[in-house]
């Protein structure tokens, strides 16, 4: 069940409270001979995604139309026929834009029914990927609006993506998300509703999709997994509208990473395979290496050593072909050493501690951005503990804690707690000092 951000947005536009809508719906129902007794709690359920029964959706349209002095349809309030023209991934691109921007608005306003929504699984999780893979394509994405979109506008979006990505790497997703979502509402939303020919529109949708992906990454890093998933699905739809298969494959890599975190290992394998298959020659070596490495982790968790080792070989082969300066901005996260730390995690799951340690040490010995270095040190510390090298594990954990200080990231906090628990159980010399440093890093308010 997905939050109904369109209904939320139109209620805000109409200036009507939850209790006020319920009262007006009851009154409109009486005019039709219906005995309705809705309260504000019912409206809250509708906003969380529950569909009102019977004639109530039409009554909501009637109430809001009278309030706004214009026609209001079921699609306008997010209650169109599921799978029809009003569904989130079907129908017109313009309808999708309205749903996407409604979500950004709800996120910026910190709506609980959006922030607390769980991630979907099964068919609702798979359909956006299937729709990206398959026809129909967007033949023409031009639009006629009030604001003329220029090349300079698109360059601003690209610069913003780079800026917020760097902010995320240094400060974490919790601190960054409010800023990137505010930018989407203030700058990207008016552009998507603006005026542009097909060629400009494709560039606009690509730039916006890459920026929305950053919002999804920040939501994932904030533990808002349902919200992150919706941003990733939006970014995938925008990638399709842009016609850039490589961007779509990058977004699917983000979904693969989230699937691994949610322990949906078979889904992670399937999503990565879809990206590799569909994007084909548009997959760059950096992205291919990451997708293969994540598949290796998934196979390892599933206990399939053959599948894991074959993907490790493919990841390493692809990594050898990476040429800096020939990769899009989005794959900049695939820095030297990333494949090593991914492979280390896969080998650790397979019980190959020697191989895991070798790859983790190589990753730590390679320069990385602040956030990536914390993850690499955490992996090496965990492996050293598993190998019985408590002193080395403690020394590595101290470096990790010092590196993580000041970052606002739920994912990093999870890694810090995990390492701390392992150290405490070990109980060797220096453990208390390392645990205290980790506690200090964890005291950063989120």
Q: Is the pLDDT of residue 87 over 60?
A: no
pLDDT reported for residue 268:
98
- Average pLDDT on 401-422 reads 88
Q: Is the pLDDT of residue 429 over 70?
A: no
Compare 403 and 191 and report the one with higher pLDDT.
Answer: 191
Lowest average pLDDT, out of 75-89, 127-141, 164-178, 415-429, goes to 75-89
Q: Is the pLDDT of residue 427 over 80?
A: no
In whole angstroms, what separates CA 24 from the centre of its chain? 37
- Report residue 19 as tokens: 């209790």
CB within 8 Å of 385: residues ≥ 6 apart: 393, 422, 423, 426
The answer to whether residues 390 and 406 touch, using CB atoms and an 8 Å cutoff, is no
82 pLDDT band (50/70/90 cuts)? Answer: low
- Report residue 74 as tokens: 């079921």
Q: Is the pLDDT of residue 85 over 60?
A: no
Q: Is the pLDDT of residue 443 over 60?
A: yes
Compare 236 and 444 and report the one with higher pLDDT.
Answer: 236
Question: Which tens digit of pLDDT belongs to each residue from 306-348?
Answer: 999 999 999 999 999 999 889 999 999 999 999 999 999 999 9
Q: Is the pLDDT of residue 239 over 90?
A: yes
Burial of residue 180 (CB within 10 Å: 0-12, 13-18, 19+) is buried
Q: Is the pLDDT of residue 446 over 60?
A: no
89 pLDDT band (50/70/90 cuts)? Answer: very low
Percent of the chain with pLDDT over 90: 73
Question: Which tens digit of pLDDT belongs to each residue from 352-361?
Answer: 999 999 999 9
Distance CA 385, CA 387 (A): 5
3-state secondary structure of 433: helix
């Amino acid at each position: 069940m997905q939050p109904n951000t369109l209904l939320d947005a139109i209620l805000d536009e109409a200036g009507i409270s939850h209790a006020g809508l319920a009262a007006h719906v009851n009154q409109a129902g009486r005019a039709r001979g219906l005995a309705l007794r809705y309260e504000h709690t019912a409206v809250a359920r509708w906003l969380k995604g529950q569909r009102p029964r019977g004639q109530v959706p039409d009554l909501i349209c009637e109430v809001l139309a009278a309030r706004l002095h214009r026609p209001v349809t079921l699609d306008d309030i997010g209650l169109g026929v599921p799978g029809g023209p009003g569904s989130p991934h079907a129908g017109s691109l313009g309808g999708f834009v309205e749903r996407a921007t409604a979500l950004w608005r709800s996120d910026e306003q910190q709506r609980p029914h959006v922030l607390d929504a769980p991630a979907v699984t099964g068919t609702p999780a798979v359909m956006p990927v299937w729709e990206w893979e398959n026809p129909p394509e967007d033949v023409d994405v031009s639009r006629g609006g009030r604001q003329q979109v220029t090349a300079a506008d698109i360059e601003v979006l690209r610069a913003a993506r780079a800026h917020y990505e760097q902010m995320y790497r240094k400060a974490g997703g919790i601190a960054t998300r409010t800023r990137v979502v505010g930018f989407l509402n203030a700058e990207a939303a008016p552009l998507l509703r603006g005026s542009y020919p097909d060629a400009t529109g494709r560039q606009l949708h690509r730039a916006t999709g890459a920026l929305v992906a950053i919002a999804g990454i920040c939501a994932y890093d904030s533990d808002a997994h349902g919200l992150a998933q919706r941003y990733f699905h939006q970014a995938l739809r925008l990638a399709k509208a842009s016609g850039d298969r490589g961007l779509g494959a990058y977004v699917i890599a983000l979904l693969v990473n989230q699937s691994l975190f949610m322990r949906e290992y078979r889904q992670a394998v399937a999503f990565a395979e879809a990206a590799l298959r569909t994007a084909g020659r548009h997959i760059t070596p950096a992205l291919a290496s990451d997708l293969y490495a994540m598949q290796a982790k998934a196979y390892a968790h599933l206990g399939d050593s053959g599948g894991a080792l074959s993907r490790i070989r493919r990841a390493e082969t692809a990594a050898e072909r990476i040429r800096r300066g020939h990769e899009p901005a989005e794959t900049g996260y695939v820095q030297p050493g990333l494949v090593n730390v991914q492979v280390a995690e896969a080998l650790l799951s397979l019980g190959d501690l020697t191989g895991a340690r070798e790859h983790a040490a190589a990753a730590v010995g390679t320069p990385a951005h602040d956030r990536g270095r914390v993850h690499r040190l955490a992996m090496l510390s965990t492996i050293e503990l598993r190998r019985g090298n408590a002193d080395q594990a403690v020394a590595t954990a101290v470096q990790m804690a010092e590196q993580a200080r000041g970052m606002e990231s739920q994912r990093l906090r999870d890694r810090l707690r995990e390492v701390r628990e392992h150290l405490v159980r070990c109980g060797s010399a220096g453990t208390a000092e390392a645990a205290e440093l980790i506690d200090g890093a964890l005291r950063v308010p989120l």
